[in-house]
């Protein structure tokens, strides 16, 4: 049994059923029933057209359930008779399924969970483990999301930007449990890039590849964080970097700049530098200026302050930081770093300790605590 084939076909079959008129929740139930049937039947009698077989079986199961359930009789009125046997249309509706799962009426967490379930083919248990929540909690979240999108017309135009934000949220979850969400996000974004010709899709894929290329060097063997400047660049994935840069260059050549292309350009400049000291910080500041123009995000401005500090000196970076709200996440950590570079070790140590208390995870908290302890020790405390 080819599990990878089943997983790749699942969203395409689900999309066909939804396009034919089945609501999302009922369609997914029918597809799951068809997959169970495939596991039972295919080892002894594999079909010549796997997708066509799944569509036919799933559609029959949907119709059987629709006819058996009195509460669904109104839906049955708009369901056409089962199509005659024959080749399944080759059109791939997966793109519309992306749009459906990333519908604006869903919360970001629900959109991510539904995308992983419907497009990614992950089980509810796998998604729950990745998010470190009980399986029942995740099942309720996905069930609510299904009910929400069941009221959405399938032929409504989708918002590519929303889909990309959902995929980027998946990527940033990284790795937890037995599901590598960063790798899954890259797989799904590749799938989206094959279905739609859009420079921001290519930009997001490039960004993911460039960040993922450094993954093996981000933590030490004991699990502690390794900052970018201290990472062993010889261990970066050069093939992923080359692919990311090629995708980015092709996207930028289309002269339709978006935020993911700008972020990828910054990541490419980091990846292209042989050493941390050779990083082109002046260009990075220029890309942050473009990104600020595109998003006007306080977090982008915070990261820009770091780049300014590297390009023009720590005092210039502190001046850029002064214009920002000090309640921003990681504001204290950035201020600590810039004060340390400016030679104010007392203030830097205090800010590192403050940043450690605000850290969103244990690894980051431990890193910042060590920085505060290092500076305190250097001052004889």
Spatial distance between the Cα atoms of 7 and 41, rounded to a whole number of angstroms: 17
Nearest CA to 268 out of 316, 217, 222, 213 is that of 213
Q: Please identify, among 118, 144, 177, the residue that sits at the C-terminal boundary of a domain.
A: 177
Q: Are residues 39 and 83 in the same domain?
A: yes
Nearest CA to 239 out of 274, 209, 202 is that of 209
Q: Is residue 236 part of a domain?
A: no
Q: Is residue 204 part of a domain?
A: no
CA distances from 9 to 33, 44, 53, 54 (A): 14, 20, 11, 8
Q: Please identify, among 135, 158, 177, the residue that sits at the C-terminal boundary of a domain.
A: 177
Q: Are residues 109 and 46 in the same domain?
A: no
Is-contact 318 342, C-beta < 8 A? yes
Q: What is the pLDDT, as a whole number, of residue 76? A: 45
Q: Which single residue is written with the structure tokens 């200026």? A: 289
Backbone φ and ψ for 219, nearest 5 degrees, come out as -130, 150
Is-contact 226 217, C-beta < 8 A? yes
Task: Give the range of the structural domain holding residue 70, as residue numbers without chain letter.
Answer: 3-88
Q: Which single residue is written with the structure tokens 């008129």? A: 21
Q: Are residues 310 and 362 in the same domain?
A: yes
Spatial distance between the Cα atoms of 84 and 81, rounded to a whole number of angstroms: 9
Spatial distance between the Cα atoms of 112 and 167, rounded to a whole number of angstroms: 7
Sign of dihedral through CA atoms 138, 140, 141, 146? positive
Spatial distance between the Cα atoms of 330 and 343, rounded to a whole number of angstroms: 20
DSSP state of 180: E
Angle at 274 between CA 318 and CA 299, to 5 degrees: 30
Q: Please identify, among 70, 88, 106, the residue that sits at the C-terminal boundary of a domain.
A: 88
Q: Are residues 310 and 376 in the same domain?
A: yes
DSSP H helical ranges for 21-49: 24-41
| Surface-to-core class of residue 52, CB atoms within 10 Å of its CB (0-12 exposed, 13-18 middle, 19+ buried) | middle
Spatial distance between the Cα atoms of 338 and 306, rounded to a whole number of angstroms: 8
Q: Which helix (H) or strand (E) holds 371?
A: helix 362-378
A 10 A CB-CB count for 195 gives 16
Q: What is the pLDDT, as a whole number, of residue 364? A: 93
Q: What is the pLDDT, as a whole number, of residue 153? A: 67
DSSP three-state, residue 33: helix
E strand residue ranges, the chain: 175-176, 179-180
DSSP H helical ranges for 180-280: 181-195, 199-212, 238-252, 259-272
Residues of the chain below pLDDT 70: 1, 69-94, 153-158, 174-179, 380-381
The number of folded domains in the chain is 3
The per-residue pLDDT for range 331-348, each reduced to its tens digit, is 999 999 999 999 999 999
Query: Which residues fall within 8 angstroms of residue 256, CB to CB, at 6 or more apart?
Result: 199, 200
CA 76 to chain centre: 37
Q: Are residues 83 and 97 in the same domain?
A: no
Q: Is residue 285 part of a domain?
A: no
CA distances from 328 to 74, 294, 352 (A): 51, 20, 15
Q: Which single residue is written with the structure tokens 């210039």? A: 316
Q: Are residues 47 and 109 in the same domain?
A: no
The per-residue pLDDT for range 166-190, each reduced to its tens digit, is 888 888 876 555 567 888 889 889 9
């Amino acid at each position: 049994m080819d599990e990878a084939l089943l997983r790749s076909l699942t969203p395409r079959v689900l999309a066909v059923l939804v396009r034919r008129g089945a609501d999302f929740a009922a369609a997914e139930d029918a597809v799951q029933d068809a997959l169970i049937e495939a596991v039972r039947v295919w080892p002894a009698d594999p079909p010549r057209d796997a997708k066509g077989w799944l569509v036919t079986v799933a559609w029959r199961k949907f119709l059987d359930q629709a006819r058996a359930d009195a509460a669904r009789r109104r839906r049955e009125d708009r369901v056409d008779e089962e199509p005659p046997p024959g080749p399944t249309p080759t059109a791939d509706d997966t793109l519309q399924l992306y749009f459906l799962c990333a519908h604006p009426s869903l919360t970001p967490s629900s959109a991510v969970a539904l995308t992983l379930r419907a497009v990614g083919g992950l089980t509810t248990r796998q998604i729950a483990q990745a998010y470190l929540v009980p399986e029942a909690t995740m099942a309720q979240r996905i069930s609510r999301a299904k009910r929400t999108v069941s009221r959405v017309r399938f032929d409504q135009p989708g918002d590519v930007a929303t889909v990309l934000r959902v995929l980027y949220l998946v990527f940033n979850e990284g790795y937890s449990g037995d599901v590598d969400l960063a790798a899954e996000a890259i797989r799904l974004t590749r799938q989206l890039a094959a279905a739609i010709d859009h420079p921001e899709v290519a930009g997001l894929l490039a960004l993911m590849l460039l960040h993922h290329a450094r993954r093996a060097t981000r933590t030490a063997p004991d699990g502690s964080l390794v900052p970018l400047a201290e990472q062993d660049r010889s261990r970066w994935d050069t093939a992923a970097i080359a692919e990311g840069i090629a995708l980015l260059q092709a996207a930028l050549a289309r002269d339709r700049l978006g935020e993911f292309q700008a972020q990828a350009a910054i990541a490419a400049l980091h990846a292209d530098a042989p050493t941390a000291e050779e990083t082109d910080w002046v260009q990075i500041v220029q890309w942050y200026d473009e990104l600020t123009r595109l998003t006007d995000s306080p977090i982008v401005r915070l990261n820009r302050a770091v780049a300014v500090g590297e390009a023009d000196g720590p005092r210039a970076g502190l001046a850029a930081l002064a214009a920002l709200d000090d309640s921003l996440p990681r504001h204290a950590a950035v201020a600590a770093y810039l004060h340390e570079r400016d030679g104010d070790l007392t203030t830097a140590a205090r800010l590192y300790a403050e940043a450690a208390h605000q850290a969103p995870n244990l690894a980051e908290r431990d890193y910042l605590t060590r920085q505060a302890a290092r500076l305190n020790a250097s001052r004889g405390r």
